[in-house]
Amino acid sequence: MNKIVITNDGSHSIFNDKINECYHSKHGAIVEAEHVFIRNGFSRSIKKDLSILEIGMGTGLNTLLTKQKANIKKVNVSYHAIELYPIKKNVFSKLNFTDLIGMHQQELLDIHICDWGKHNIIDKYFNLRKDCIDLESFTTNTKFDIIYFDAFSPEKQPELWSEQIFRKMFDLLEDDGFLVTYCAKGTVKRTMKKVGFDIEVLDGPPGKRQMTKANKTS
Ligand SMILES: C[S@@+](CC[C@H](N)C(=O)[O-])C[C@H]1O[C@@H](n2cnc3c(N)ncnc32)[C@H](O)[C@@H]1O
């Protein structure tokens, strides 16, 4: 069962009681997403056409923030999100992100309601394709500039932090692409290195000492 909870910056998150883990840091969902995926992900690229893959779309917060930044910076974003357990309308329609970041609720609804398995033109700068599939089975011919790796933690979902999965994500990236994640665990960084990533350890969001940016080329 998914339950809406409030994090310390006032933004909502979801607590999944089957996994017994929250979708975001209790120190602030928006603050965390802005830090890990926008400041150290989206904003690290200078490209004017960006392809982004998100692993675990969940509440749609990273998707929404990226759409907002794409419009501010006039960057054309092709965003591909995969999610194995899409959240239901009675949950996503209650999420409070848009009020807190100066957007309209309809913009979050557009992200959740648009078709799965198809390309959706959300606005001038933002195309979205969502696939309801697990990362293990996901295949595509597209190469991505950035991967937002936002799976549940290695403790809760070790199968998604394996060498095989990191190799798959390495292969899904463009030659100058990179992956960002909130996690900076030693074993995870070693696995990333093993498949060829060049690791950058960055300051973490509030409540977390570090996060990781894994570059395909050094
Ligand atoms: C930490 S939450 C991510 C939160 C999300 N990015 C957000 O901002 O709300 C992890 C997400 O991964 C999804 N997930 C779990 N197992 C998955 C799998 N094998 N493949 C793809 N997504 C998965 C979960 O349903 C959940 O939405």
Q: What is the mean pLDDT of the chain?
A: 97
Strand partners, 15: 3, 22
User: What are the CA-CA distances from residue 191 to residues 29, 105, 157, 200 (Å)?
Assistant: 27, 39, 15, 14
Tell me the whole-structure pTM to 2 decimals: 0.98
Is residue 105 predicted with pLDDT exceeding 70? Answer: yes
| φ/ψ (deg, to 5) at 84 | -80, -30
User: What are the CA-CA distances from residue 64 to residues 67, 136, 176, 193 (Å)?
Assistant: 5, 25, 25, 31
Average pLDDT of span 28-43: 98
108 confidence band (pLDDT: 50, 70, 90): very high
Q: How far is the CA of 133 from the centre of ligand 1 (A)?
A: 11
**Other residues' Cβ atoms within 10 Å of the Cβ of residue 40:** 22
Average pLDDT of span 28-48: 98
Q: Which residues line ligand 1 (CB under 6 A)?
A: 23, 33, 55-59, 61-62, 82-85, 134-135, 150-152, 160
Which residue, judged by its Cα, is nearest atom 11 of ligand 1?
Answer: 56
Residues 78-103 pLDDT 10s: 999 999 999 999 999 999 999 999 99
Q: How far apart are CA 211 and CA 131, in angstroms?
A: 26
Local structure of 161: helix, strand or coil: helix
Q: Which of 53, 24, 15 is nearest to 205 (CA)?
A: 24
Q: How far is the CA of 134 from the centre of ligand 1 (A)?
A: 9
Residues 45-57 pLDDT 10s: 999 999 999 999 9
Is residue 8 predicted with pLDDT exceeding 60? Answer: yes
So what's the pLDDT on residue 1? 80
Q: How far is the CA of 199 from the centre of ligand 1 (A)?
A: 23
Nearest-atom index, ligand 1, CA of 138 = 20
Residues 137-174 pLDDT 10s: 999 999 999 999 999 999 999 999 999 999 999 999 99
Q: How far is the CA of 76 from the centre of ligand 1 (A)?
A: 25
Secondary structure (DSSP) of 127-192: EEEEE-S-TTT---S--EEEEEE-PSPTTT-GGGGSHHHHHHHHHHEEEEEEEEES---HHHHHHH
Strand partners, 77: 50, 126
So what's the pLDDT on residue 76? 98
Beta strands 210-215; 173-181: pairing state: antiparallel
Q: In the chain, what are the domain boundaries?
A: 27-215
Q: How far is the CA of 1 from the centre of ligand 1 (A)?
A: 14
CATH of domain 27-215: 3.40.50.150
Is residue 218 predicted with pLDDT exceeding 70? Answer: no
So what's the pLDDT on residue 86? 97
So what's the pLDDT on residue 9? 98
- Pocket-testing residue among 36, 79, 84, ligand 1, by greatest number of atoms within 8 A of Cβ: 84
So what's the pLDDT on residue 2? 86
